[in-house]
A and B are shown apart, each in its own frame.
Chain A
Amino acid sequence: EVQLVESGGGLVQPGGSLRLSCEVSEFTFSRYWMTWVRQAPGKGLEWVANIKEDGTEKNYVDSVKGRFTISRDNAKNSLYLQMNSLRAEDTAVYYCARTLTYGFDYWGQGTLLTVSS
């Protein structure tokens, strides 16, 4: 069974940094684009970033450009999101998702990031 497990969330002060991880299993990770999607408490879904199979192409929503970096380690079947200069508005549950050309077919359970002093 395909599994995606996020980790690394927690409480961070404004201006701080954190790295989220997403470890996958039961599929060939290196053959898929991967995506991070977030959801602020009580709000809708927001696409954050995606990364090509080999890591050579990355895309970001404007609100995180220059602050967040998506990366992957295909040898470790893992996806990452390095988040710097965190703001209160980055508070959300962060999901990783396996990405097809036409959508996100498998999702993790999410990890909660809270940015607060």
Chain B
Amino acid sequence: AIQMTQSPSSLSASVGDRVTITCRASQGIRSDLGWYQQKPGKAPKFLVYAASSLQSGVPSRFSGSGSGTDFTLTISSLQPEDFATYYCLQYNNYPLTFGGGTKVE
């Protein structure tokens, strides 16, 4: 199975900060990567697909980049509603695998 390693596992940030989360795949996955946001007690929300495409309705302060094995999710100016845990997901190969998560607090 492809291992997805996210870093950091948690970070402390303030409103207005630029936040960057990274995800590394154990083998190349082209751009078959998505990002999800999850708040406590809630289902995940779909943010980014194909490494850099924003899902409909997602604010433009979110952006994704990368291909192959290294990917990033960037929040250009952190808003109060962005405090959450973020997960990457590779869908290049079965089994699909999530990263371990990054808690933004």
Binding site for B on A (CB under 8 A): 37, 44-47, 50, 59-62, 95, 100-105, 107-110
Contacts and interface: CB of A to CB of B under 8 A. Distances in A.
Interface of B: 1, 32, 34, 36, 38, 42-46, 49-50, 53, 55, 87, 89, 91, 94-101
Nearest to A64: B95
B98 A102 contact: no
Contacts of A104: 36, 44, 46
B56 to A, nearest CB: 9
B87 A45 contact: yes
Nearest to A106: B46
Contacts of B97: 47
A59 B1 CA distance: 13
A101 B89 CA distance: 13
26 contacts: A44-B98, A44-B100, A45-B36, A45-B38, A45-B98, A45-B101, A47-B95, A47-B96, A47-B97, A47-B98, A50-B96, A59-B95, A61-B95, A62-B95, A101-B91, A102-B50, A102-B91, A103-B34, A103-B49, A103-B89, A104-B36, A104-B44, A105-B46, A107-B45, A108-B43, A109-B42
Contacts of B89: 45, 47, 103
Contacts of A61: 95
A104 B38 CA distance: 13
